[in-house]
Amino acid sequence: MYKVLDKDIIEMEIICHIPANKRGFSSQAPLEEIVNAILYKLKTGVQ
Task: Summarize pLDDT for 7-19 with one digit per residue, the tens.
Answer: 888 888 888 898 8
pTM score, whole prediction: 0.70
24 in any annotated domain: no
2 in any annotated domain: yes
22 in any annotated domain: no
Which DSSP helix (H) or strand (E) runs through 39?
helix 31-44
41 in any annotated domain: yes
Residue 25 binned pLDDT confidence (cut-offs 50, 70, 90): confident
47 in any annotated domain: yes
40 in any annotated domain: yes
Compute how many other C-beta atoms are within 10 angstroms of the C-beta atom of residue 6: 10
Residue 5, domain extent: 1-17+29-47
| Structure confidence at residue 1 (pLDDT) | 44
Mean pLDDT of the chain: 83
36: closest CA among 28, 1, 26, 4?
Answer: 4
Which residues have CB under 8 Å from 10's CB, separation 6+? 32, 35, 36
| Structure confidence at residue 7 (pLDDT) | 84
| Cα(31)–Cα(17) distance, integer angstroms | 12
What is the DSSP secondary structure assignment for residue 23, as one 8-state letter? S
35 in any annotated domain: yes
